[in-house]
Amino acid sequence: MAKKVIITCAVTGAIHTPTMSDALPFTAEDIAHQAIEAAEAGAAVLHLHARNPADGSVSLDPDHFMAFLPTIKQSTNAVINISTGGSLLTTIDDRMAPAKRASPEMCSLNMGSMNFAFHPLATRYDDWKYEWEEAYVRNSDSYIFRNTFADIAKVARELGELDIKFEHECYDVGHLYNLKFCMDQGLFKAPIFIQFIFGILGGIGPEIDNLIFMKRTADRLFGDQYQWSVLGAGGAQMPLAAAAATMGGNVRVGLEDSLFISRGKLAASNAEQVRKVREIVEGLGYAIASPDEAREMLALKGGDRVTF
Ligand code: KMH
Ligand code: ZN
């Protein structure tokens, strides 16, 4: 049987702003619509952030999540993965609040503190749609994305109690060692799911050598105890997805991490990126995983045990 590849689609997110692409969804209706379309196109997992519907700013308000989660659940069988890294400006307690309310099958969990910067993006825009955007982007040269061992342990304890499986976001090789340390402390159960992240300013760069290095390190640390996926930010999105699928991994796309469908051309939607990566995966001779196959591969609790 052909290897199954899990496509994760990260639908909205915290890096880009409404000025940068009209396709970036930020109202509950648009987030739900694009998430459903992405699932129909082949995404088994939907990684979700919320935004303030009034101005597209990043929101951690559980009510903003609950405004789209039930609609997505009613229309798709996709696995819902809620971000716990949705703000660079507040505490881990605030960041966990949406997941505590919704008890999804999965949540992201960022595996180390780091610079997390996207200020170079500001130089590309003169006019901004909303007042908050320019300062938010420019000031990212000062943001510290805080994910201490204490923060990670708190998430493991409080969301682990809800039987939530984590997408362990690893932006550099040290984060794999942090994860190994936490596993040895008994914080996480195999199979763990690692998202190798390349191309964020503050993390490891998007070169294939780095993917091979991260994968080889993870093999050494976790053996057969893990599943893995690759997220390449910006222009690295599709090339690294193709490399990941070729190497036997899973892939993540979505407007959260790249607004483009090809060089210089904005994507019309999340679904367009899912269709493109699906073509790449199927063209390599692999099949995409259905949501239920993803549930089995990742040992998830099941869509009937969420609270939305
Ligand atoms: N957009 C990713 C590079 C999270 O949601 O926990 C970061 C991210 C963080 O996905
Ligand atoms: Zn995210």
Average pLDDT, rounded, for the chain: 97
Beta carbons of 82 and 104 less than 8 angstroms apart: yes
Mean predicted confidence (pLDDT) in 134-142: 97
Whether 108 is in the pocket of ligand 1, judged by its Cβ within 6 Å, is yes
Global confidence as pTM: 0.98
Whether 203 is in the pocket of ligand 1, judged by its Cβ within 6 Å, is no
- Whose CA is closest to atom 7 on ligand 1? 85
Q: How far is residue 48's CA from residue 80's CA, in Å, rounded to a whole number? A: 7
pLDDT at 1: 67
- Per-residue tokens: 3: 């290897």
Beta carbons of 28 and 53 less than 8 angstroms apart: yes
pLDDT at 2: 72
pLDDT at 149: 98
Q: Output the CA 230–ligand 2 centroid distance in Å.
A: 13
pLDDT at 3: 82
- Tens-place pLDDT, residues 212-258: 999 999 999 999 999 999 999 999 999 999 999 999 999 999 999 99
Mean predicted confidence (pLDDT) in 158-185: 98
Mean predicted confidence (pLDDT) in 80-105: 96
- Largest pairwise CA distance in the chain: 52
Mean predicted confidence (pLDDT) in 18-30: 98
Dihedral sign, Cα of residue 36, residue 38, residue 44, residue 48: negative
Whether 17 is in the pocket of ligand 1, judged by its Cβ within 6 Å, is no
Distances (CA, A) of 46 to 51, 82, 105, 224, 298: 16, 8, 11, 25, 14
Whether 84 is in the pocket of ligand 1, judged by its Cβ within 6 Å, is yes
pLDDT reading at 89 higher than 90: no
Is 224 strand, coil or helix?
coil
Phi, psi of 162 (to 5 degrees): -90, 10
Dihedral sign, Cα of residue 122, residue 136, residue 176, residue 242: negative
Q: Closest ligand 1 atom to the C-alpha of 84?
A: 6
Mean predicted confidence (pLDDT) in 200-217: 98
Residue of 11, 197, 259, 273 to test ligand 1 pocket, by largest number of atoms within 8 Å of CB:
197
State the Cα angle at 234 between 280 and 122, rounded to 5°: 160
Instruction: Give the lowest-confidence range in 87-91, 152-156, 243-247.
Output: 87-91
**What pLDDT band is residue 42 in, cutting at 50, 70 and 90?**
very high
List domains and CATH numbers for the chain: 4-112+147-305 (3.20.20.70)
Distances (CA, A) of 81 to 10, 11, 290: 9, 11, 15
Mean predicted confidence (pLDDT) in 284-290: 97
Q: Output the CA 82–ligand 2 centroid distance in Å.
A: 8
In the chain, pLDDT over 90 holds for what percent of residues?
98
Q: How far is residue 87's CA from residue 246's CA, in Å, rounded to a whole number? A: 33
